[in-house]
Amino acid sequence: MSSNAIEDKPKNAAFRVGLGDITPNNLGQLKRLNTVLFPVVYAPSFYKEVLEIGEFAKIIYFNDVCVGAVCCRKEDADGSTSLQNLYIATLGVLAPYRRLGLGSKMLMHILENAEQTSSNESKIAKVYLHVQSNNEEALEFYKKHGFEVAEKCENYYPNFEVSDAFKLEKVLTA
């Protein structure tokens, strides 16, 4: 685990969970995770951006094993330079490690940092993402964390068997 990892050891638990920065040294782990977790091949430019986004890209470790990651990007909100949106491009946990709170830990880290964007940066107005329309587990997960369906995007994933997606968003009040 990186020296700048955020680590929790739950009471009476025999495991450790930590969030670590994505660095050039562990970028290969992120690439392998994404290959397993998502049916999309991400371009080298995606990984270059991930290295520059700071707190909005993290790897999660379970007992020092890399088991998941979250990667976001900032976008101008409706042509505004003072407001930005945060797009969650990827958030995933390997199947054997799901339902342990790891995805929630990553999402809460992202939301807390989005709400605490410093005054010298553009304020983040909302956080959003796309979820394949048949992915009920993901829909339930994000709704549990206050995201709402903003729209249905037909043929969002044109090369997938289920091509439709839902755009989910959470408007930040801070």
Q: CA dihedral defined by 101, 105, 106, 109, rounded to 10 degrees?
A: 170
Position 39 confidence tier, pLDDT thresholds 50, 70, 90: confident
Domain assignment present for 49:
yes
Percent helix, strand and coil across the chain, each rounded to 5? Answer: 30, 35, 35
User: Which residues are paired to 170 by β-bridges?
Assistant: 127
Does a structural domain hold residue 35? yes
Is the CB of residue 18 less than 8 Å from the CB of residue 65? no
For position 121, what pLDDT does the model report? Answer: 67
* Total structural domains within the chain: 1
Nearest to 38 by CA among 131, 122, 127: 131
Picking from 40, 58, 52, the residue whose alpha carbon sits closest to that of residue 107 is 58
Active site residue 109: no
Q: What pTM was estimated for this model as a whole?
A: 0.87
1 assigned to some structural domain: no
Half-sphere exposure of 90 (CA within 13 A, CB side): 27
Residue 2 has pLDDT above 70, yes or no: no
Question: Which residue of the set 42, 47, 128, 130 is catalytic?
Answer: 130
* Of 37-46, 71-80, 113-122, 128-137, minimum mean pLDDT range: 113-122
The neighbour count for residue 85, using CB atoms within 10 Å, is 22
Which among 87, 109, 145, 156 is annotated as catalytic?
Answer: 87
- Does residue 141 lie within any of the structural domains? yes
For residue 93, being part of any structural domain is answered with: yes
Question: Which whole number is the average pLDDT over 53-64?
Answer: 95
What are the φ and ψ backbone dihedral angles of 6, each rounded to 5 degrees? Answer: -95, 120
The mean pLDDT value for 28-55 works out to 94
- Residue of 123, 126, 69 whose CA lies nearest to 92: 69
For 13, the domain range is: 6-171
Residue 48 lies in a domain: yes
CATH number of the domain enclosing 148: 3.40.630.30
pLDDT at 40: 85
Phi/psi at 4 (nearest 5 deg)? -105, 30
- Predicted confidence at residue 120, as pLDDT, reads 56
* Mean pLDDT score, 134-139: 94
How far is CA 27 from each of CA 59, 101, 107, rounded to the nearest angstrom?
A: 10, 23, 20
Q: How many Cβ atoms are within 10 Å of 157's Cβ, its own excluded?
A: 16
Residue 61 lies in a domain: yes
Q: Is 130 an annotated catalytic residue?
A: yes
**Per residue in 84-128, pLDDT tens?**
999 999 999 999 999 999 999 999 999 999 988 755 567 899 999
Q: What is the mean pLDDT of residues 57-76?
A: 95
Kindly report the average pLDDT of the chain as a whole number: 88
